[in-house]
Amino acid sequence: MTPPAETRTGSINLALVLVASLLLGFVGGYLVGQRGPIPAVMRTATAGCPHDLDPSDAYIVAGFICPNPAHQDLLINCHCEIAHALKDRIKQELSEGKDGTQIRRELEEQYGARLQPIR
């Protein structure tokens, strides 16, 4: 007894769909692998934080950690409210003609050990 022709055709179609799916998966995996992993969060390269200091003024906060007790990030990289307020203050004082070294000294006097990294 041979199975009906209809059953054989259904089995062949199922096998072809399975093979085509596997082939598509391999090709898709290869193409994704060529581009690297897909990032979970897309970041815009053109838009920076409006509070960031100009790179030429980064020396003012170089080596300082954020004075916010909840953060241990470098101040230059931190984006909490305190860090934003300090960066805005620095930008304001620079625009008024104040010297960066003087601003750094004032920050050290005001925040003391809270700005210094734990060693």
Q: Where are the domains of the chain?
A: 1-42, 55-115
The pLDDT-based confidence of 36 (bands split at 50, 70, 90) is: low
Residues 69, 113: Cα–Cα separation, whole Å: 11
Global pTM reads 0.58
Comparison of pLDDT for 108 and 12, the residue scoring more:
108
Average pLDDT over residues 21-43: 71
For position 46, what pLDDT does the model report?
A: 47
Give CA 5 to chain center in angstroms.
59
For position 70, what pLDDT does the model report?
A: 86
For position 58, what pLDDT does the model report?
A: 92
The DSSP output letter for 15 is H
Residues 11, 14: Cα–Cα separation, whole Å: 5
Contact present, 62 and 76 (Cβ < 8 Å): yes
Contact present, 65 and 117 (Cβ < 8 Å): yes
